Chain A
Amino acid sequence: MALLTCENLSLGYENNVVVKDLSFQVDAGDYLAIVGENGSGKSTLMKTVLGLIKPLFGKITFGEGLKKNEIGYLPQQTVVQKDFPASVWEVVLSGCLSKMGMRPFYSKEEKRLARENMRKMGVTSFEKRSYKELSGGQQQRVLLARALCATEKLILLDEPVSGLDPKVTAEMYETIKELNDGGTAIIMISHDVGAAIKYANKILHVAGNVFFGSTDEYLQSAAGKRFLAVTEEKYD
């Protein structure tokens, strides 16, 4: 059974349908890239999977013992965060909150987990610094460490490299790949089809006609060819 199965999903807001008839599944250890033009509904899909929005139609099922609070999430940055007084340590530790239930304070074990994930993401050296004073790449690493505190099973990333320079982008992709190699399933939204093809084993193209399949199948498909041609032009 798959970690996550979506069948015939229709997504949108109130009466405004954004995407229709979306079906895909994510197995343990998968790396799914979601690609598509701006405004095609990628973030909407992610929020629906997370239960922040209700699907208009269709079914989402979690399998292999995955519970709703065992999904990590790296959101597209919100405005409020930009001047928020929070240290790196406070942000990372807050990822453990879902494990806490009604208990008011963090346990030793949760603090240890936060420390370990900071080390994994290479942010230990600035644990006392203010989150808002970090560079974009460092902030993304901190948020990844927080997501890892919530789960090791499945992490959803909404445009994790937007606004990062090419070198930091490459490092970020490598870090995500290492997580995936370590057994964490990844669902990542990306503009960068090149990176999606390089790293992901499955691709979901959200657009007029939806494509879902393995990366190889995507390269053969009409949608993939068209999208690749466009992006290659852009980079020339």
Chain B
Amino acid sequence: MTEFFAYFQFPFVRYALIVGTLIALCSSLLGVTLVLRRFSFIGDGLSHVAFGAMAVAAIVGITNEMLLAMPVTIVCAVLLLKSGRNAKIKGDAAVAMISVGALAIGYLLMNVFPTSSNVSADVCTTLFGSMSILTLTNFEVWLCAGISVAVVVIYTIFYNKIFAVTFDESFSKATGVKSDAYNLVIAIVTAIVIVLAMKLVGSLLISALIIFPALSAMRVFKNFLSVTIASAVISVVCSITGILASILLKTPVGPTIVIADIVTFAGFFLAGMIKGAKRV
């Protein structure tokens, strides 16, 4: 136990916890809307795009990969959102095309222009996250913190609009609400959160961070505000638990967090069933 607390002496552990908490908070907020609009797959597609962009950034030699990955992912998010409404290319097919394409290009580039001697370790790190959350630089911590706070503020400001557009887009549009603009905000914020979350869990596991807390909360809570709050709390708790567990058990950070999310989901699933059974 003393060994456990000794870890907090290290600034990198504290940084990891701060950044982990903030990213978990952002992704869970967004998760509620994405899950309810059946847009979860867009999160998945975007994470692959972010992977491709990260690979390109590494090769070109940009020191902070996020600076390239962020704008590229945002552009793709906007395009995907537009194509979702386009009858000519089916929305889900467009997502699949872009995401598989980005994955292939990213992996190919990493092999053709290796930046280190161990390519497969690099790829693995980008896909599943790494201990990189424990090796954050001061600048990265501040960048993550700044962006996360901005995301939370934007979400709060647009909360009522996001609810209305998510619940019933045609009613909102019909009564003159600028739902296209709010959809754009949602798409951009999604892209930002995904690029941030890559640091924490790697690109293949981001969807878990977005989807599980929202699904857990929806098992038990029945109104939008409580689902949003519960989802945020669940996500933060799971993320902290996961990071601490991974340090103690020497397991990879990303998967450990995701397992914490899965266990929580199972718990909420049971709780929801018991609650439902009581009511009948």
Contact = CB atoms under 8 A, between A and B. Distances in A.
B160 A104 contact: yes
A71 B168 contact: no
Contacts of B224: 84-87, 90
A169 interface: no
* Chain A, interface residues (CB within 8 Å), range: 35 or more
A97 B172 contact: yes
Interface stretch (A46-54, A171-179, A183-191): A46-54
B204 to A, nearest CB: 27
B223 interface: yes
A37 interface: no
B251 interface: no
A106 B161 CA distance: 11
Interface stretch (A21-29, A75-83, A216-224, A226-234): A75-83
Contacts of A59: none
Contact of B159 (A71, A85, A104, A146): A104
A52 B38 contact: no
A67 interface: yes
A8 interface: no
A54 to B, nearest CB: 13
Contacts of B36: 80, 84-85
A80 B38 contact: yes
Contacts of A78: 168, 170
Interface string B16-52: 0000000000000000000011100000000000000
A129 B221 CA distance: 11
Given A51-B174, A81-B167, A86-B167, A100 B160 contact: yes
Q: Which of A47, A84, A85, A87 has the most CB of B within 10 A?
A: A85
B123 interface: no
Nearest to B230: A85
Q: Decide if the interface of chain A is mainly helix, strand, loop or mixed.
A: mixed
* Chain B, interface residues (CB within 8 Å), range: 20 to 34
B218 A85 contact: yes
B120 interface: no
Contacts of A71: 174-175
A78 to B, nearest CB: 7
Given A91-B167, A97-B164, A73 B175 contact: yes
B61 interface: no
Interface in B146-168: 156-161, 163-164, 166-168
A87 B223 CA distance: 5
A151 B176 CA distance: 11
A40 interface: no
Contacts of B227: 85
Q: Which of A50, A98, A128, A147 has the most CB of B within 10 A?
A: A98
A75 B170 contact: yes
A81 B176 contact: no
Contacts of B158: 104
Contacts of B168: 75, 78, 81, 94
A105 B176 contact: no
A181 interface: no
B7 interface: no
Contact of A72 (B37, B157, B175, B177): B175
A95 interface: yes
A91 B156 CA distance: 18
Contacts of A69: 175-177
B173 A52 contact: yes
Q: Which of B38, B157, B164 has the most CB of A within 10 A?
A: B164
Contacts of B172: 94, 97-98
A50 B174 contact: yes
Contacts of A84: 36, 166-167, 224
A50 B223 contact: no
Q: Which of B38, B157, B175, B226 has the most CB of A within 10 A?
A: B175
Contacts of B222: 85, 87, 129-130, 132-133
Contacts of A146: 171
B223 A95 contact: no
Contacts of A83: 218
Which A-B residue pairs are the 7 nearest by beta carbons? A69-B176, A130-B222, A87-B223, A50-B174, A98-B175, A94-B164, A73-B174
Given A52-B173, A73-B170, 11 more contacts: A50-B173, A73-B171, A81-B167, A85-B226, A94-B164, A97-B175, A98-B177, A106-B160, A130-B222, A132-B222, A150-B175
9 contacts: A51-B173, A51-B174, A68-B176, A69-B177, A72-B175, A73-B174, A98-B176, A104-B158, A132-B222
